[in-house]
Amino acid sequence: MKPLPCLALAMSLFASVTIPAMAAAPTPLFDGKTFNGWEGDTTKVWRIVDGALVAGSLTQTVARNEFLATTRRYTNFVLRLKVKLTGTEGFVNSGVQIRSERIPNHHEMIGYQADIGAGWWGCIYDESRRNTVLAKADEAVVKRAVKPGEWNDYEIRAEGRRVVLKLNGIQTVDYTETDATLAQHGLIAVQIHGGGKAEVAFKDLTVEELP
């Protein structure tokens, strides 16, 4: 039997429609118990305490920058996590690396960093590459958003060449990369910065991959 003209037309139109790809559901990056899916110095620097990734000390100065990185790379995503930074003296600072790589035979990483710490919260810094702040957060906005010494929600959205940061639901920066030569994919990592008596903790890390 031949299909009716209207039915044939409807089927043709349906076939020509492109259904947009859907974002994947958020996936835990850290199981709260093990370092599965992560790599770094898990014997002397990084430890797991009460379901959180922890590094640093409030009694001894952190000797140098240290990173705990994912074992796989990501391109477009929304990264969500909770972070708490405390310190007693020196440079009390931390950060979250995205679209980054480890420098071979070195403790540093290269790439974009969502910064953490007084005067740096909510900024995007280019770690070990251009070594500069790419997007500076407004101090008044940060003061309204950040809860010093407490758990803070950090959201990092990386899509195409655009990166948007939010602290406790408040947007701090919206940055678009203009250098077309820079790769827009790589590792995710958490950092403890050297030079201060500081301790940082990260928990509830999830990643929602985007098309």
User: CB within 8 A of 50, min separation 6: which ones?
Assistant: none
CA atoms of 182 and 178, how far apart (whole Å): 9
pLDDT per residue as tens digits for the range 27-70? 999 999 999 999 999 999 999 999 999 999 999 999 999 999 99
pLDDT per residue as tens digits for the range 133-172? 999 999 999 999 999 999 999 999 999 999 999 999 999 9
User: CB within 8 A of 179, min separation 6: which ones?
Assistant: none
Q: Is the pLDDT of residue 198 over 80?
A: yes
**What is the average per-residue pLDDT within 87-105?**
98
148 DSSP β-pair partners = none
pLDDT at 22: 67
**pTM for the predicted model, two decimal places:** 0.89
Residue 171: closest CA among 211, 203, 135, 130: 135
CA atoms of 81 and 34, how far apart (whole Å): 17
Q: Ramachandran region of residue 120, left (φ > 0), alpha (ψ -120 to 50) or beta? A: alpha
CA atoms of 103 and 195, how far apart (whole Å): 20
Distances (CA, A) of 113 to 25, 34, 156: 24, 24, 10
Please report the DSSP string for 178-207 in residue order.
--TTS-S-BEEEEEE-SSEEEEEEEEEEEE
Task: Give the distance between the most distant pair of CA atoms in the chain.
Answer: 84
**What is the average per-residue pLDDT within 99-127?**
98
Dihedral sign, CA of 186, 187, 190, 194?
A: negative
Locate 36 and state its tokens: 């599965």
**CB of 117 closer than 8 Å to CB of 125:** no
Locate 67 and state its tokens: 């990173």
pLDDT at 21: 59
**What is the average per-residue pLDDT within 185-206?**
98
pLDDT at 20: 53
In the chain, where the domains are located: 23-209
**Token pair 């070195």 in the structure block, residue:** 106
What is the architecture, at CATH level 2, of domain 23-209? Sandwich (2.60)
Name the percent of the chain in helix, strand, coil, to the closest 5.
10, 45, 45
